[in-house]
Structure 1
Amino acid sequence: MSFQSLPNELLYMISGQLRRPDLNALAQTCQQFYAFLNSTLYFDNIRLNHSSALFWAASTGSLGTIQRMLAHGADLQIRAESAAATQLGLNYLKSQNMTRKRGSARTRHTRSKKESLSFSACGETLLHRAAEWNQEAVAKYLLDNGCDMLSIDMYGYYPIQLAAHRGHESLVRLFLEKGFHPNTLSWARTDPSAIHSAVCGGYSGIVKLLLDHGADANLKGSSSNNEYSPLDLAFSEHWATKTQNILDLQNALGPEHMRGGQENCALLLIDHTAPHEIFEDDRYLLLAVKKNYVKVVQALLDLGIDPNTCLLGRRALRHAKDFKLKELVDLLEPLITPASQLKPKRKKRKTEP
């Protein structure tokens, strides 16, 4: 009696004794075994492996696998599980809940349910995986079938932020078209919104897309740990060592690519920032000099920033000379007024009551 002529009941009993790789190999030996055993593989993956095939399919763009998993009872709302990820999520969300209890009265575009969000809501979703790996067709299918684009992963990121981090402009556009508000704040520490995430990666095209859809160039986070605007991030240096996500970006893109992109981001953000907000903070000129953002320095000077302003006790020209930035020295030197010609600031007299 040949193996192929065995009744399905016996095949099912035999399959229960095989390891998953062996069962998969057996299913591929002939069409008959494939038709019978493939369903067993899907059911076992859902029951024993927490639907890991769904996350593989979302990463690789295998829409057919996702559809077959759903036909076998998989849940699109499933979240990735691991002991380390779960504990990290619990610790982080607990700290964020404590921060939010201390509170801030500012109005933000945050999800109304977030106040009562439980720790079990933390974890990577299929939409996060598709957004990170630039699988637009999968992301569209997931959104059309009820996946929540306002879900957060264990680091506090929305799916759109992962797409912005990696420079997937078409995916960011998809989320915006599906109704994602660009000023929605997440619980991420360093980059609490999509425009922050795009600036971190130096993706000026995504920054422009978000600004065109109403993103606030001066948007800041919801806790004392992330009170940086997107413009602050374009200039800042110390934030780059804070998260593994940023370090991965630096390794993948190279620091020079990120620096050039962030300079273009800074130019876009300056164009969308009210002049009085820039004039109130003279440090932007110093930061632009320190980062050697020649085009940004020129843009700030065109806005009317005074190059004679002393920053940390010295003028911008002095900093440019210290860092040996010849192009900036040539730009600033003709604009500097000699110290002897500067009018000393008058001290205000105290009025007696």
Structure 2
Amino acid sequence: MSLQALPPELHFGICELITEKDISCLSRTNSLFHYRVNSYLYKFNVRNSKNSALLWAAKNGMKSTAKFSIDEGADVEVMDAAHQTPLHPAAKHGAQAIVKALLDTDKLEVDCVDDRGRTPLMYAAQYGHEAIVKLLLDTNRVDVGLKSYTRDTPLSCATLYGYGNEAIVKLLLDTKEADVNVRNYIGDTPLLCATKHGNEAIVRLLLDTNEADLDVKDCIGDTPLLCAARYKHETVLKLLLNTGRVNVNARDRYGRTPLSHAANDGAEAIARALLNTGEVYVEPRDRHGRTPLSYAVWNGHEVVAELLLDTGKVNVKSKDSVGRTPLSKACEKAHEEAAEASSEQKGRDKRVKLTH
């Protein structure tokens, strides 16, 4: 009698005597063995292999494997070495069907934390999985204000890591439970993060709450306005200025203001926007005694230098810490340009003589 012709109970008896790998091979032999043995394979995994199939399915987005495991009684709160339940990797990798199957069991803690103190909601927010964030929020069993061991919240995860999903930020803000001024492990608030990334839509959402601290400083003393000027995010800078609630003369740890950064980078539109507020101090001196005009002249940004001169409020003889003035630097640059032009002309004259 062939193995295939044996009654089902003998097939199950054989399965009791072989390894999980062998059972898996047997279930894939043909359709009959798959029909008879596949469910037994998952029962075996639950009983003898610590629900490894469910964890594997969640990490690899294998919906059918996850469903079979759950149907055969897998522990949906089983943890791997990083203290992650199947819900963590499913949320992280955007496996919406698996997340839904896990939630439908009503047997798991939705806000379970891993060895970094992170929840499935934090991972879904960080990696931009809007549908999963909504599924988790709809359970009403998640704490939107919960902090990880590195002080990340779902909102800071949504703004910090570059995905910048506007819809996710809106979902979190709409709960009215998200702290818009929470600081992460490097001291950034959601507004600082969004400003540094130049994410106009998220900046708008945060400003619309009327709760964000607009002059909060990061670990190097930058406010959101300083960040917008430093990273040349013109639209974000104008959004902040339009609130009428930002300190346009805020200084970083080197004593530089937003106007100093704009002048240093030759950012004409940003410099003009700052000057148009009528509140900008045009002659702030940083720790090295340099003014915005100094930076504009030193870096050859003529248009910005002209904007500053047109205010009539700058001193072209203002000395920095080594005694240089914008005027002396301008003369020096003019001399260098003249010398360079003269050198080029001499080179051309020499080549002409050689050809004759």
Q: TM-score range by the shorter chain?
A: 0.5 to 0.7
Equivalent residue, structure 1, for 2:337: none
> Cα distance 1:152–1:176, how it changes in 2: closer, same or farther (>3 A)?
same
Look up the match of 1:278: 214
**Partners of 1:229 and 1:207 in 2: how far apart?**
13
Q: 1:19 to 1:181 in 2, by over 3 A?
A: closer
The 8 Å contact of residues 87 and 120 in structure 2, kept in 1 or not, is answered as yes
Match of 1:136 among 70, 78, 96: 96
TM-score by length of 2: 0.66
The 8 Å contact of residues 190 and 226 in structure 1, kept in 2 or not, is answered as no
Task: Please list the CA deviations of residues 287-334 of structure 1 after superposition, one character each: whole Å capped at 9, or x if unmatched.
Answer: 221122212211221122353454442331221222343432343345
* Distance (whole Å) between structure 2 residues aligned to residue 141 and residue 327 of structure 1: 52
Whether 2:225 is the aligned partner of 1:265: answer no
SS of equivalent residue, structure 2 residue 214: helix
Q: Which structure has the highest helix share of the two?
A: 1
- Cα 1:71–1:139 change in 2 (3 A) is closer
Which residue of structure 2 aligns with residue 114 of structure 1? none
What CA distance in whole angstroms lies between the structure 2 residues aligned with 1:293 and 1:182? 33
CA offsets per residue over residues 38-89 of structure 1, 9 Å max, x none?
Answer: 2442233223432121123334555554443244332122122x3xx3xxxx
Structure having greater relative contact order (Cα 8 Å, sep ≥ 6)? 1
Match in the other structure for 2:170: 208
Q: 1:286 Cα deviation (Å)?
A: 0.9
SS of 1:142's partner is helix
Any unmatched runs of 5+ in structure 1? 86-122, 237-258, 343-353
Are 1:31 and 2:38 an aligned pair?
no
What per-residue deviation string (whole Å, max 9, x for no partner) do you get for residues 157-189 of structure 1? 111111111111111112222114564213241
Change (3 A) 1:181 1:73: closer
Is 1:3 paired with 2:3?
yes
The alignment's C-alpha RMSD in Å is 3.2
**Aligned position for 2:155:** 195
Based on CA coordinates, which of the two structures has the bigger radius of gyration?
2
Report the TM-score when normalising by structure 1. 0.66
Change (3 A) 1:292 1:154: same
The count of corresponding residues between Structure 1 and Structure 2 is 275
Cα distance in 2 for residues equivalent to 1:338 and 1:186:
41
Q: What is the aligned partner in structure 1 of residue 248 from structure 2? A: 307
Is contact 2:145–2:177 with CA below 8 Å preserved after alignment?
no
Would the aligned equivalents of 1:158 and 1:186 in 2 still touch at CA under 8 Å?
no
- The runs of 5 or more residues in structure 2 that have no matched partner are 284-311, 315-356
- Report SS of the residue matched to 2:203: helix
Output the CA distance in 1 between the equivalents of 2:144 and 2:21. 46
Go from structure 1 to structure 2 and tell me whether the alpha carbon gap of 1:321 and 1:180 turns closer, same or farther (over 3 Å shift).
farther
How many angstroms apart in 1 are the aligned matches of 2:100 and 2:258? 49
